[in-house]
Chains A and B, each alone.
Chain A
Amino acid sequence: MMNFEEPNANLVSHEFLAVILAGFGDELHPLVSDHGDEPCPKALLPVANMPMIDFPLTWLEQSGITEVLLICPAAHRSSISHHIHSDTSSSSYPSLHVDVQTYDESPDEPVGTCAVLKRFSSRIQRDFVILPCDFIPPEDLPLSSLLNKYRVESNLDGAIVTSCWLKAHDADKGAVPEEWGRIGSSVPIIWDKKSGTLLHIDTPDDRDRNFDELEIRMSLLSRYPVASLSSKYTDSHVYVCKRSVLDVLHHRSMFDSFREEFLPWLCKIQYQKTKREKYGRVLRSIMTKEAQVLALRHSTLFGGSIHAQDLSSRGSNSPSLKPVPFSVTSSPAHLDEGDEPLASLRIGIITHDTVFACRVNNIAALLEANRQFLSRTNYTLPTDPDNRALIDAKSQISSDSMVGSSTKIGERATIKRSVIGRHCVIGKMSRVVGCILLDHCVIGEGAKLEGCILGRNTKVGARAELLRSLTQAGYEADAGATIRNEKLEVSDWTAGPGEESDEE
């Protein structure tokens, strides 16, 4: 009998671990509120009829990472795990090995990402990639280019993190109500284009301290005299990090948010001497094992600017110092094995300007992401005869809409620029313009919907008019109701039959 076991199962250790953080989605309220007893996780909220979490998972699969650690609130665990691991769902991922872990969080007290990472740092034993569950990656930026930049830089000169920043998208004013949030609030950053190093992120704390001016250190400028400053970029929250970054995180327990507090602090290590001395050792611990020290000394295109001895004898950073994006090597004449190259401990940055990408963390972003997908689609009637029969011949569906399977569309219904989920029922003569309907919605006859987002199982009565409203899953709007610019929750509806247009 031949032995057909997997021969190379543990020959190659996996290089990266992907950590996907799924939160509650506070800004997407009321879409993420519970449907009865069942939670509606933000991660499963569909964008263009695909659950949001499918986007980063597909991106990961394409880049070749196989190990995923997904961290979600305890309440969402079963639905998310069911979605990922079930074979029947169309979005199963054969090559990914997803480990779903939970943390206890209630919507009232949000837990910061730093705390979550600290809690799970024992499960993260190698270099990791942090991804948010709501990231829609751009089509022309594969994750492998981020990974490649990290691989080269961490070996070459000890970079610790590689981040990706997207161009903030300007929405049309007035298209979206102010309270629905802004897409991709941009943050002023300073970075060096030539070496792709992120130098400074402006945090809300900095802004509180000094609103008018942007304070930066001279040591930053003397190292990188030609740096660029822009406020047009927004953080994608995709970080490829070295494992030792978690060790530093344990040292700094006061940080709560990775993006807002820890990362700007990490940027400062590369040019602030005191921080460097304190944390350099921690961050550098694995570097010498992986770095090709001897090979780089012999490499013809490497280093050659300053002696290591000159570097240590310098007191303060002198302005005549040439910025050295590569780490400094000592003269090859001194071939001591103990010489360590000076790690640059820098943060890499990839900026992405071209194709649309964003984080769908508020309502405006959700609308915009759906709009982007709609602009690329072309609606055609379904070929499947059962589905085809459900869609009435006299209905008008514009080409920039999406209709999910098993949706019944009644006679003379008009659908324009909308995303309709699965198993919906759109009544006769209704008008749905610029809306997003999740699964199982029922729209009564003659209803008019414009610019709305309806949660799952929403029922809209006949001849109702909803304009720019959001509904929680399971909401029922009465027949003939007129609702404008409101976020509707189920509690309003159960409050009493007479009060339908109350605010939350």
Chain B
Amino acid sequence: MTRTIVMSSISHRHFRAPSQTDGTGQNDPPTAGAAQKPQKQLTKAERRELQERQRAAKAAQTGSSTVKQPRPTAPASSHPKKGGKGSEGPVQGRGSPSTGPSGPPNKSTKESKPTAATAAEEAAGRSRGLRIFSHFALQKSVGHVAKGDVHPAIVRLGLMFAEFKICGANARSIATLSVFKRVIQDYTTPANNTLSRHLMTHLSVQISHLVSARPMSVTMGNAIRQLKLEISGSDIDLPEQDAKDALCGKIDNYIRDRIIIADQVIQETAMKKIHDGDVVLTYARSSIVQKVLLEAWAGGTQFSVIVVDSRPMLEGKRLLSTLAAAAIPCTYLLLPALGCVISEVSIVLVGAHSIHSNGAIFSRAGTALVAMMAKQHSVPVVVCCETYKFSEGVRLDSFTKNELAPPGDPFSSFPRNRSPGSLVIQNQPNLEILNPLYDLTPPSSITAVVTEAGVIPPDAISSIPLALGRLV
């Protein structure tokens, strides 16, 4: 009984913060009475206020427990990059908008713990963490010694992923598969165990280390799934070395068939789309689009390229130098200037990180803008994508799963007389850097997807597994 009064008086405090504690007793009945009013009679605003109050009351319960321990939670929120696991993120995201308005009055009334409150405020002020996209956070792997039996090559690969030295869907899957070949070759089956069963657990340890360095891409997931299928299907009676060689052979075949040869087929198909005198526009840097352009130029077609780039990754610069070295006439501009040139473009070629059943393309942040602009100006948007990037799910937005770009501009080199550390923008008490890496291009902005199975319109993408005759 007493408890309910206390709870409602707390909730009451949050919204009548100026009123003093002695007034709560009298104010209680009117609040309770107001709550008792039948829902229909409340106006929309009152209903909303009631809802807010209830939500604040709920948050106050959790808020009172969190203010009591300011230290553990404030550091938890101030290190979004350290502890930003998916489960913690949404809880924070949900909790924080409601604790927002009730936060300051909460602290002002809890005079019994002034030091704790100021400590919490100070800790929160230091780095509040991303409020809405905290689940994008990168996980730090610096100074962390690998748990379990992680193969040294996997440790190195994890480092390269975390530092973005190997970046791009194709690059990451090729790198992962090559390293897995080494891991498999160095693996010995322990006694009383079979290769097909134990190797999977061994690989899972390695995979979790890689995921802690950087979240897994769709391509890596597909490749690993295929590898696990092969492992479980390997013959028990084979001698160990033969089984391992067979697995490595299958990995090689996968890389060759699904990536290298697929790229060659896509090159030939997409080359036909580029005619003499065309102006091709591409965004950031895709390994397959680069191959297409170089191959088309080598085939004798005369065209020019517009490379659109954006910060912080600035991958377009590298594409530009590669194309310029091949003597292709290029123009380079940043994304905001796209509107000036779009009317001269004849075709837009972009790459993808993954394609989904509903026809949406998950690609470098900014591609959606390019595709949308192009569609607006009736420029065909052609996405070059291998079939192994196909993901069964339906993706409707880029918020549920995304990643943050590395802080600052790790590859900026100017001005040269300053140390690279000082050129990187850091998170500050009143500044949080939010740089999502990927965005979603809806199928309505895409004209066609070129895969090694053919040129497919976006609404037919879900038939790719069927076209390949197998489950991807």
Contact = CB atoms under 8 A, between A and B. Distances in A.
B294 interface: yes
B373 interface: no
Contact of A301 (B142, B153, B167): B167
A304 B420 CA distance: 20
Interface stretch (B69-77, B84-92, B188-196): B188-196
Interface string B139-180: 000110110011111011101100111111011101100110
A280 B292 CA distance: 34
B325 A307 contact: yes
B149 A151 contact: no
Contacts of A296: 166, 171, 175
Interface centre among B165, B202, B317, B419 (most CB of A within 10 A): B165
A274 interface: no
A299 B167 contact: yes
A36 interface: no
Given A152-B156, A292-B178, A295-B166, A300 B188 contact: no
Interface stretch (A11-19, A341-349, A395-403, A407-415): A11-19
B145 A194 contact: no
Q: Is the interface of A mostly helix, strand, loop or mixed?
A: loop
Given A12-B151, A64-B145, A306-B325, A333 B295 contact: yes
B285 to A, nearest CB: 4
B315 interface: yes
Nearest to B172: A295
A350 to B, nearest CB: 13
B152 A333 contact: no
Interface stretch (A1-9, A163-171, A176-184): A1-9
B222 to A, nearest CB: 16
Nearest to B326: A331
Interface stretch (B123-131, B335-343, B410-418, B455-463): B410-418
A160 interface: no
B150 A152 contact: no
Contacts of A332: 287, 290-291, 294, 322
A194 B179 CA distance: 28
B168 A299 contact: yes
B319 interface: yes
Interface string A265-305: 00000000000000000000000001010111111111111
A8 B149 contact: yes
Interface in B192-220: 192-193, 202
Interface centre among A3, A142, A155 (most CB of B within 10 A): A155
A151 B159 contact: yes
B187 interface: yes
A155 B156 contact: yes
A246 B163 CA distance: 29
A144 interface: yes
Given A292-B175, A300-B286, A301-B411, A15 B143 contact: no
B191 A302 contact: no
B284 interface: yes
A148 B152 CA distance: 11
Contacts of B67: none
Contact of A193 (B187, B202, B419): B419
B444 interface: no
Interface string A98-123: 00000000000000000000000000
Contact of B260 (A145, A193, A335): A335
Contact of B142 (A145, A297, A304): A145
A398 to B, nearest CB: 33
Contacts of B156: 151-152, 155, 290
A144 B143 contact: yes
Interface in A128-166: 142, 144-145, 148, 151-152, 155-156
Given A142-B143, A331-B294, A331-B322, A300 B284 contact: yes
A333 B190 contact: no
B164 to A, nearest CB: 6
Given A301-B164, A301-B313, A305-B321, A10 B188 contact: yes
B75 to A, nearest CB: 19
A294 B175 CA distance: 8
A226 interface: yes
Contacts of A12: 149-152, 186
Given A64-B146, A299-B171, A226 B159 contact: no
A323 B55 CA distance: 59
A300 B315 contact: yes
Interface string B408-431: 000101001101100000000000
Interface in B305-350: 313, 315, 317-319, 321-322, 325-326
A295 B168 CA distance: 9
A361 to B, nearest CB: 28
Contact of A155 (B149, B151, B160, B172): B160
Contacts of A494: none
A15 B152 contact: yes
B42 interface: no
Given A15-B155, A152-B159, A8 B165 contact: no
Interface residues of B, number: 61
A317 interface: no
Contacts of B192: 3
B313 A331 contact: no
A63 to B, nearest CB: 7
B153 A152 contact: no
B174 A294 contact: yes
B238 interface: no
Given A142-B143, A303-B318, A148 B420 contact: no
A454 B174 CA distance: 62
B468 interface: no
Contacts of A156: 160, 165
B35 interface: no
Interface in A78-103: none
B298 interface: yes
B152 A13 contact: yes
Interface string A48-66: 0000000000000011100
A300 B171 contact: yes
A152 B291 CA distance: 27
A11 B187 contact: yes
B190 to A, nearest CB: 5
Contacts of B190: 5, 7-8, 11
A3 B294 CA distance: 59
B143 A152 contact: no
A145 B141 CA distance: 11
A306 B321 CA distance: 8
B472 to A, nearest CB: 20
Contacts of A226: 416-417
B152 A302 contact: no
A10 B151 CA distance: 11
A4 to B, nearest CB: 11
Nearest to A156: B165
Nearest to B165: A156
Given A152-B159, A304-B319, A5 B294 contact: no
Closest 9 CB pairs of A and B: A304-B318, A295-B175, A15-B152, A299-B171, A300-B168, A298-B171, A64-B145, A295-B174, A298-B287
Given A152-B165, A194-B416, A301-B165, 20 more contacts: A5-B191, A8-B202, A62-B145, A64-B145, A144-B145, A151-B156, A226-B416, A292-B160, A292-B178, A294-B255, A296-B171, A299-B166, A301-B164, A301-B168, A301-B285, A302-B166, A304-B319, A307-B325, A332-B290, A333-B295
18 contacts: A3-B191, A8-B202, A12-B149, A12-B186, A13-B186, A15-B152, A63-B145, A64-B146, A151-B156, A152-B165, A156-B165, A193-B420, A296-B171, A300-B168, A300-B284, A301-B168, A310-B325, A331-B325
Interface of B: 142-143, 145-146, 149-153, 155-157, 159-160, 163-168, 170-172, 174-175, 178-179, 186-188, 190-193, 202, 255, 260, 284-287, 290-291, 294-295, 298, 313, 315, 317-319, 321-322, 325-326, 411, 413, 416-417, 419-420
